[in-house]
Amino acid sequence: MNATEIATSILSLIAGVGIFLIACTMMSANLEALGSKKLKSLFAKASKSKLLGVGVGAVTTAVIQSSSATSVMVIGFVNAGIMTLTQAATVIYGANIGTTITGQLVALGMFGADAISTSVLFAAFAGIGAFILAFAKKDRLQRLGGIMAGFGMLFVGLSMMSGAMSDFSELDSVKIFLAQFKNPLLLVCIGAILTAVIQSSSVMTSMAITMVVAGLISLNQGIYITMGANIGTCVTALIAGITSTKNAKRTALIHLIFNISGVAVFLLIGLFMNIGGIDYGFLFNKMFPGAPQIQLSMFHTIFNFLTVITVLPLTDLLVKLVAKMIPDRKEDRQKLNEPCFRFFEEHMLRTPPIAVQQIKNEIIEMANTAVSNFDTACKVICDLNYDDMEAFRLREKQLNFLQSELAQVIGKVLKEDLAERDRLYLITALRTLIDLERVGDYAENIIEYADKLKDANTKFSEEAIKEINDLRELIMTLYEKVMIAYRDHDKKSLKNACEIEEEIDAVTEQMTQNHIKRLSNGECTIEVGTQFISFSANAERISDHFINVAKTIKSYR
């Protein structure tokens, strides 16, 4: 090979890696959007058992084609308090199994030397997918086209990498150079470093497979590089954990310890096998003769399966170990009371369907916070007892924080490639934030009316207090129906909520008439009456804002 051919091969390799990475991203984005409903519910099932957690991690990673993204999502859930460390550990185990799917696809695409190769057949999907993308009008068909195009591009990139590797295999100098790297620990380190740089164990494993098939490296070298890729993929999760809570840091550490432990065990087994004159390459060559691509891809799968089977029974001990390595300390109480997200985590932006679900959870929590402040305000204006005011003020700060910060988050997510239903939901969510923040404002108004009663050294009559409590219970019933409608997209609950809201309108009108009678009979003063009418008007507006929240489900299906 001359200098021009060498340069061409290097550029082809770089292009192949780039196309492969783009294909993974394209498949991931479209698969996420197409299966967003199922993807959102998968993580909720992870808490039922350890084995189910492993399954959830494996399926999710197989869908989004990235164990790093799954691990980052898990860290976000732990950071938000949605998932325990034990649950997170099992999902991470499963992610290591799910990430082997790419290697199996790559190996499958490298058959067919004497006929049309499977790689060429699969690469043709890129053209079919592009054709669908060009002419399809429906969102679902476009997503399907994107998946097919991404799948085909995966093999276009693979073909370019394979071609470049084949060219390099003709250079004795390259073979001699690579043959020097025989030390298993060194090969593991090389695999870990390269994976950390390119941020994808799938790409690293695929490159190792093409190098083995081209004869650039031995199967044994490829096996140890693949082991290192499992460690290198932890870097993304470690970065995500550094800026998060202690439990999130522990989750990232579990991921690292789990992967290092698996590699360490297999390194030791390899060392003992070498004493007997055999190695992993020899074993897998015997198991799958004549198919180096299958030999390496099967090692990758078996390695991850055996690691999970070994570590799974020790999960509770692993959780205790990381808890000791990153111990709890007494936190500053003021910091704990600072407004923050309970469910959403910045790293979830990498997986938009999950981000959308967690935004919805934040809004539901925001609604709970708003109705709690309304409930407290009703009790304060009735008995003029201010014992719960500290909690009230903290909740009000949280409402203001969520209204401002969630709007920014929604703006970021709307820039991502989303399913149409998710996009429509987020647009309605911006209006919902305003409605819920206004509920908090009206609760503050009610507290101010209570302050005026206290300053005037007066209070409501027993009859007025009964009317307020009846209205409060009616609004709380409305709220329950509203949240069922909002959370479950339940149109029957929306209808019930609308009926209750009409009843509230009638009740507040009756309260005004009752007040006028009491005022005429001299049963209350102008000051008391003014605050009573103001309360009923504010309560009626609160019910309007709650019903607005429920009605948003009409905007998306």
Rounded to an integer, what distance in angstroms lies between the CA atom of residue 63 and that of residue 4?
40
CATH code where residue 424 lies: 1.20.58.220
Assess whether 137 and 223 both reside in one domain: yes
Out of 293, 325, 357, a domain closes at 325
Alpha carbon 352 to its chain's center:
7
Q: Which of 95, 358, 101, 32 is nearest to 252 (CA)?
A: 95
Rounded to an integer, what distance in angstroms lies between the CA atom of residue 466 and that of residue 449?
17
Fill in the amino acid letter for 503: E
Segment 287-300, tens digit of pLDDT: 988 888 899 999 99
Assess whether 248 and 385 both reside in one domain: no
Q: What are the structure tokens assigned to 155, written together? A: 């093999």
Assess whether 285 and 394 both reside in one domain: no
Flag whether 338 is in a domain. no
Beta strands in 92-133 (DSSP E): none
Assess whether 360 and 320 both reside in one domain: no
Domain with 529, as residue range(s), is: 346-555
Specify the long-range contacts of residues 30-33, CB closer than 8 Å, at least 24 apart.
30/143, 30/144, 30/146, 30/147, 30/150, 30/417, 31/63, 31/64, 31/65, 31/147, 32/63, 32/64, 32/351, 32/352, 32/353, 33/143, 33/352, 33/353, 33/417, 33/418, 33/419, 33/422
Assess whether 54 and 167 both reside in one domain: yes
Rounded to an integer, what distance in angstroms lies between the CA atom of residue 439 and that of residue 422?
25
Segment 136-182, tens digit of pLDDT: 878 778 888 888 888 788 778 767 776 776 666 666 676 677 777 88
For residue 13, name the pLDDT band (cuts at 50, 70, 90).
confident
Assess whether 475 and 534 both reside in one domain: yes
Assess whether 423 and 362 both reside in one domain: yes
Flag whether 162 is in a domain. yes
Rounded to an integer, what distance in angstroms lies between the CA atom of residue 484 and that of residue 492?
9
Who has greater pLDDT, 1 or 187? 187
Flag whether 333 is in a domain. no
Flag whether 194 is in a domain. yes
Contact 205, 71 (CB under 8 A): no
Assess whether 312 and 350 both reside in one domain: no
Domain total of the chain: 2
Assess whether 384 and 266 both reside in one domain: no
Check whether 115 has a pLDDT greater than 50: no
Rounded to an integer, what distance in angstroms lies between the CA atom of residue 371 and that of residue 395?
10
Q: What are the structure tokens assigned to 355, written together? A: 């981000």
Segment 355-379, tens digit of pLDDT: 888 899 899 999 999 999 999 999 9
Assess whether 298 and 404 both reside in one domain: no
Assess whether 278 and 398 both reside in one domain: no
Flag whether 339 is in a domain. no
Assess whether 62 and 114 both reside in one domain: yes
Flag whether 331 is in a domain. no
Flag whether 524 is in a domain. yes
Q: What is the pTM of this model?
A: 0.67
Flag whether 374 is in a domain. yes
